[in-house]
Amino acid sequence: MSHYLYAEGTVADIKKAAQHLELVFDEDGFAISYFEIDEDKGVWALSLYPQEEDLADVHARAKSELANLSVSLDLTEQKLDDVDWVTKSLEGLSTVEAGRFIIHGSHDADLDMRGHIPVQINAGQAFGTGHHGTTAGCLKVISEELRSFKPMRVLDLGTGSAVLAIGLAKLLKQEVIATDIDPISIETAKDNIRINKVHPFVKLAVAPGFKHPIFAEKGPFDLIVANILAGPLCSMAPELALHTSLGGRIILSGLLPHQRARVIAAYRQQGIKLLRTIEEDGWLVLVFEG
């Protein structure tokens, strides 16, 4: 069993609380979600998913913040069954077109995908099915950027299910380095890479940040794609800039609109130039030049 924090309330209280807690816990690197659970009664829910070891501390801090915010929400600890929800939710999902790519599950493998680069994702316990705005936005931007920009050394940092690494490998037909802090993600990525027959191109490594010999061996990179969260992307800006070649591109996502200025400032301090900003389904993709 794993645990999470949960509250129910009115749409006004839930949205106010969620937006405030996103700012409070922005650098802690865990998910916060809110959604409607009863349209007729107008009931909404708020969920926080910190690491198990941080649960008590986050619970206390969140309750204090909500009290100061004057919203009447009872934030409680809930148990979450150890179910592979990502794979379960993937069943029956429609295909997603993202630039030159089309993302699909095994149940759609027989569809006519001519004119697209197909990427089959059986996500397992890792982030990234292609249905989320951050992933779809990254794939669209990759499609656009690589029409004229031809990188030789490519890194997918925080690869998750490896959907971006697979897309890059299929498009470029060359080596792509894909790393993630989570060993389970790397195992899931390994399966997806073999399903998509790009295992000769994609080289995987379990790596927290840039702490692995593979970065010195294969870098600096002409293209780095990182679909993570704003806090880690800001803290890693110096190392990420250090591992980007002169004139190289950096594509960042996992960002909400209100986080744009802070992320841009973190990279501008490293001499990294913003080229453009793209919004996809309420999420941002930032393209920089090293």
Quote the mean pLDDT of the chain: 87
59 and 9 within one domain = yes
pLDDT classification of 287: cutoffs 50, 70, 90: very high
Q: Among 80, 96, 112, identify where a domain stops.
A: 80
Same domain (yes/no): 71, 45: yes
> pLDDT higher for 13 or 87?
13
Helix runs in the chain, H state only? 11-24, 55-69, 85-90, 133-145, 163-172, 183-195, 213-218, 230-235, 237-242, 260-268
Q: Which residues pair with 3 in a beta bridge?
A: 79
Query: Taking CA 131 as the corner, what is the angle to CA 199 and CA 190, rounded to the nearest 5 degrees?
Result: 20
**How do residues 157-174 score in pLDDT, each as one tens digit?**
999 889 999 999 999 999
State the pLDDT at residue 99.
81
The answer on pLDDT for 177 being more than 70 is: yes
Residue after which a domain boundary falls, among 65, 80, 95: 80
Q: What are the phi and psi torsion angles at 260 (to 5°)? A: -55, -50
Number of domains in the chain: 2
Best-predicted range by mean pLDDT (79-93, 122-136, 184-198): 184-198
Percent of the chain's residues with pLDDT above 70: 88
Q: Which phi and psi (to 5°) does residue 151 adopt?
A: -75, 150
- Distance from C-alpha of 143 to C-alpha of 140, rounded to nearest angstrom: 5
Q: Residues 225, 269: one domain?
A: yes
**19-23, 240-244, 267-271: lowest mean pLDDT where?**
19-23
CA 247, 253, 257, 261 torsion-angle sign? negative
- Do 235 and 120 have their domain in common? yes
pLDDT reading at 84 higher than 90: no
pLDDT at residue 110 in the model:
64
Residue owning tokens 């792509």: 176
One domain for residues 51 and 94: no
Q: Does the pLDDT of residue 91 top 70, yes or no?
A: no
**Residue 125 scores a pLDDT above 50:** no
Pair (69, 152) in one structural domain? no
First to last CA, the chain: 44
In this predicted model, what pLDDT tens digit does every residue of 208-262 receive, in sequence order? 889 899 999 999 999 999 998 888 999 999 999 999 999 999 999 988 888 999 9
Is residue 72 located within the same domain as residue 155?
no
* Statement to judge: residues 35 and 123 lie in one domain: no
Whether residue 183 is predicted with pLDDT greater than 70 in this model: the reply is yes
Q: How confident is the model over 127-154, as pLDDT tens digits?
A: 554 455 688 899 999 999 999 999 999 9
Residue 184: the pLDDT is 86
* 118 shares its domain with 258: yes
**Is residue 29 pLDDT above 90, yes or no?**
no
pLDDT at 70: 86
Q: What pLDDT was estimated at residue 126? A: 44
